[in-house]
Structure 1
Amino acid sequence: MKKALLTIFALAFVAGVAGPSFADASRDYISIVGSSTVYPFATVVAERFGKSTKFKTPKIESTGSGGGHKLFGAGVGVQHPDITNSSRRIKKSEFEKATKNGIRIVEVKIGYDGIVVANSKQAAPFKLTRRDLFLALAKTVPSTDNIAGNTQPNPYKTWKDVNPSLPDVKIEVLGPPPTSGTRDAFVELVMEAGAEEFGWIKAMAKTDKKAYKALCHTVREDGAYIEAGENDNLIVQKLEANPDALGIFGFSFLDQNTDKIQGSFIDLTFRLFFRGI
């Protein structure tokens, strides 16, 4: 069975097919797994594929980018998916595992999507900076004594604690789990950029990359950040039920629910983050 890896770099969307031979006689459909951010786009493509070809409509599962790579790279055969969608590039370890298991990887880059920070339309839109988001969501933050190099467990309980210009509202952000490519993109595009507002952290990127990533990429686990699984529709529903909460997910879910939720202003310029391929 020929297999293909379809990749979206943080924020791109993808859809496609694996090749001319998708399965043997024991499975007569294409099996696709991967990113929840890509899922809405992939389902549309799958439906059109099923209607316009002699093949059955592909089966698509939203497993998250990391979960998709794990399933895809486990081996060749009808018990394994033919295609995986990803909102980040495949990691070296995932590539090596797949290759070792006899998979010839074909990478297809398709398009772009965005990451949004959003909240319910029942509340005022947030105006945040990436520095605000880093301080609100990082597990460890620069110490309040303002001495370069000193850190402390995140003490901030409300958005006002982070920035006096923000609402006196409890920090509650629903977002993707560590298996999600959208989460990988968020910590790289937002958390890192926010952390680098502190000069000594920016310098750390060159002197101690491991410590730098640990500080910038590790999200707090005290309840302020809530992992909502690989189901962005669930985040939208929870935002509608809780006007004080914020959510992190793909732009398509904001676009589909503009009657219920609104994007936040980030750095007073854009409401979403983009990353080119």
Structure 2
Amino acid sequence: MTRITVLGECMVEMSPDGSSDDGAPLYRMGFAGDTFNTAVYMARLGDQVAYCTALGQGDPFSDGVLAAMRREGLDTRLVREVSNRLPGLYAIVLDDSGERKFHYWRERAPIRDLFSEHTADQLIEAAKASDLVYLSGVTLAVIGDIGRARLKDILAYVHSLGVAVALDFNYRPALWPSPEAARAALDGVIPSCRYISLSSEDSRPLYGREAEDLAVEWSALGAEVVARDESHAVNVHRPDGRTATAAPGRVKAVDTTGAGDSFNAAYLSARMAGLPIATAVERAHRLAAIVVCCRGAILPHGTALRLDVP
């Protein structure tokens, strides 16, 4: 069983759930967020997962997030509770093909204070005992300048101890003051990463380059880089070469929210278990295909994840 520490934000999610008799859209409330989604799927795949985040205290939404974490078997000892604050909220709007657009309310979300007080010390101890530490570009965006500086040092330290670090770029321009600020933050943690996941949708606005080009460059420094293109074909670059995998068969998506997060969960779970790259990619595609056929980022609790069956 792989021991994993995941860092990021869990928010209140409002996902489309049909319409009323007069045609007004109806929404279902849940709890989700990019790294939280990945943490949940890792736990469902059998890994031992701790989630490091900050929440409010005593309100029904923060309590709901904590209950969801515990229901999924996540270790909540790294959750920092901040008084008089509410979790961030986002609503999903879907087009006819299931592609989504997000609308956020998170200006005073408690995640911005994650690294106040003793969070850094607690995270260091948890990360040292982990096999893998996972974060995303969204994590870096929402923890602020102080948090980014502290986290950069923590990741460099645990990397020096042999702990694997995984980064999903997941670039969201609205969360950053500029592409340059995002690039500086990401560049600061890349040297600590064993696993990197990005697409050209991430790399073009940040670097003016294709994901494949960056994957070649970063793999030469020692990372395993998963480069995803618009067709969903995946090329994985390592210092010892490149593994190319074809795009999977298409499925009719209902909601693409959480597709990349679930892909990362299955891929990393498989790789940390010692499975070959091609098998990890295949399992990752299968989980993502299941996820996009349901509404919301996280499948209903108890949904079977049959990743070994075509």
Which TM-score band (shorter chain)? Answer: under 0.3
Say which structure is richer in helix. Answer: 2
- Highest relative contact order (Cα 8 Å, sep 6+), 1 or 2? 1
TM-score by length of 1: 0.25
Say which structure is richer in strand. Answer: 2
TM-score by length of 2: 0.23
Largest Rg, 1 or 2 = 1
